[in-house]
Structure 1
Amino acid sequence: MWRESSNIGRNQTSSYYVDNTLKHSFSNKTTAKQKSNDLKMPQPDEPYYCSQQIQIPPALPDILKQFTKAAIRTQPKDVLGWSAAYFRALANGETPPVKERLEMPVATQKTDTGLTPGLLRILNKQLGPRKTVDLNIIEEKWKDLALPKEQFDELVRIGGFGGTIEWLRYFALGCSALGENITDAMKTVCEILTADPDGGPSRIPFPLFKDLYTYLAKVDGEISQEHINEVTSHLQYYVDKQEGYVQPRNFTSPDCPKLS
């Protein structure tokens, strides 16, 4: 009797533990399933599209390709600002702020102003055809290239500029900021304004040379008119043989009077 009662007790206890284990297991599975459902990514509100439904504008790949090449050549300091200026210029039918080639740092700069011959060439391509230009427009193009405002203001101060000005005056002062002296400045003038191909003699019309050289000499304040006349008279000998053009080789030769 005691054994039977003992067996019955054991059976009831075993049944109790089995039932509780099954309930606990089922409860865990239910909880895990609920957690799994909770962790599912929410469905996007936007519908899915197949490749046949997506229409890529035919001109877009070439536009992005040209933009990438331009960015690599120009190496802008402010990529976002430059990109905005680039596409704004294209949209308005203007010349974008793009260098013709990748430019290495210039070791002859007096200070690290950020201005380089390549960037000055960009500004001339954008503003040169206008002859005269409002100073605010020059400043806008200057900012597009992320050039320092202090340098812009300094050139304005030196030139005494205001309102509408002759672009080549500002350009000449920009050339002077890149060199050690007026000879370096006039070499840069010739290299940027020439119609000769790269590696050529960098010739420019003599009247243009005289105009910008005289202007820079007057800004310098220490070069007399007599010395200016001496230089231009000496160069006239070469100009007569070069169909009205002058080149850096002429005014850097040992027999030519120094420009300053």
Structure 2
Amino acid sequence: MPLPDTMFCAQQISIPPQLPDLLKSFTKAAIRTQPKDLLQWSSAYFSALSNGECLPVKDRLEMNTTHKTDTGLTPGLLKTLHKQLSPMETCSKEELEKKWKGLCLPLDQLETLLSLGSLDSDIDWMEFFALGCSALGGTLVSSLKFACEILTEDEEGGAARIPFNIFVKLYTYLAHLDGEMPQDHIDNFLSSLQTQVKKQGGMIQVSNFDISRK
């Protein structure tokens, strides 16, 4: 068998200068996110990177989540989806499904949430976000606490405040979804918060009150 015309040695191979940093960032992102399907997630990661989009990466490792116990959406993954999709305010089902798959989340859970909210083509992101919080929390109180912890710009472990107008949208949507809370109760409850909101500069802190009280 004839030898190839060109022989290479280590000194002749040119390594792109960006490669070490790119691989380092990718590795850190994979460790923080812990995707179930590394190849699928890697495809979404590099696709987003090449298009200048928000990466499918968690802010930090969720220590209570493992491959054995993680069967779906987590606060860290919902926060990642929020970063990816909230700038658009509304998104198509196809775009949501693409981001959902990129984080290796189960499609049956997505279909369940979309069915619960009767969401189809043009999806209001904050409505879907509220549905995601309900999947995490189970109750109205717990769902809103998850929402505040995900959306807040306060430091971790702090007050977890969010703007009141966002709270109103989430609370109203979830209360209507529940189907058992009359509109006058919703209106009276939100009205009762005005003094607290004014004191906090238009912000609200869920841990300061009982959402279920009449």
Cross-structure match for 1:90: 49
Which residue of the partner structure matches residue 29 of structure 1?
none
Deviation per residue, 1:161-192 (Å, 9 max, x gap): 11112101001000000013011110111111
Which residue of 2 is the match for residue 58 of structure 1? 17
2:124 equivalent to 1:166: yes
1:247 — aligned with what? Answer: 205
The answer to whether the Cα contact below 8 Å between 1:230 and 1:257 also exists between their aligned partners in 2 is no
**1:88-132 deviation line (CA, Å, top 9, x unaligned):** 0000000110000000236xxxx9641100000010000011111
Please list the CA deviations of residues 6-65 of structure 1 after superposition, one character each: whole Å capped at 9, or x if unmatched: xxxxxxxxxxxxxxxxxxxxxxxxxxxxxxxxxxxx887585312221111111000000
Matched residues in 1 for 2:200 and 2:81: separation? 29
Q: What SS does structure 1 have at the residue aligned with 2:80?
A: helix
> How far apart, CA to CA, are the structure 2 residues paired with 1:169 and 1:98?
22
Residue from 189, 209, 214 that aligns with 2:147:
189
Matches of 1:153 and 1:112, distance apart in 2:
18
Cross-structure match for 1:68? 27
In the other structure, the counterpart of 1:230 is 188
- Equivalents in 1 of 2:36, 2:27: separation in Å? 15
Residues 1:220 and 2:174 are matched in the alignment? no
Residue 130 of structure 1 is matched in structure 2 by: 88
TM-score (norm 1): 0.76
* Residue 212 (structure 2) pairs with residue 258 (structure 1): yes
Equivalent residue number for residue 202 of structure 1? 160
Asked if the contact 2:141–2:211 (Cα under 8 Å) also holds between the matched residues in 1, the reply is no
Contact 1:74–1:98, Cα closer than 8 Å, also in 2: yes
Provide closer, same or farther for how the CA distance between residues 208 and 150 of structure 1 changes in structure 2, counting only shifts above 3 A.
same
Tell me if 1:151 matches 2:109: yes
Structure with the higher helix share, 1 or 2: 1
Q: Partners in 2 of 1:258 and 1:167 — Cα distance? A: 25
Distance of aligned partners of 1:259 and 1:174 in 2 relative to their CA distance in 1, 3 Å threshold: farther
Shift of 1:226: 2.1
Larger RCO, structure (CA 8 Å, separation 6 or more): 2
* CA-CA distance at 1:223 after TM superposition: 1.2
Structure 1's 259 and 143: CA in aligned 2 closer, same or farther, altered over 3 A?
farther
Amino acid at match of 2:25: Q
Instruction: Decide whether aligned partners of structure 1 residues 76 and 59 sit closer, same or farther in structure 2, where only a CA change above 3 A counts.
Output: same
SS of the residue corresponding to residue 133 of structure 1 reads strand
Unaligned runs of at least 5 residues, structure 2: none
Instruction: Percent identity, please.
Output: 55
Q: Please provide the CA RMSD for this pair.
A: 2.0
Pair 123,44 (structure 1): closer, same or farther in 2 beyond 3 Å: farther
Q: How far, CA to CA, are the matches of 2:30 and 2:70 in structure 1?
A: 21
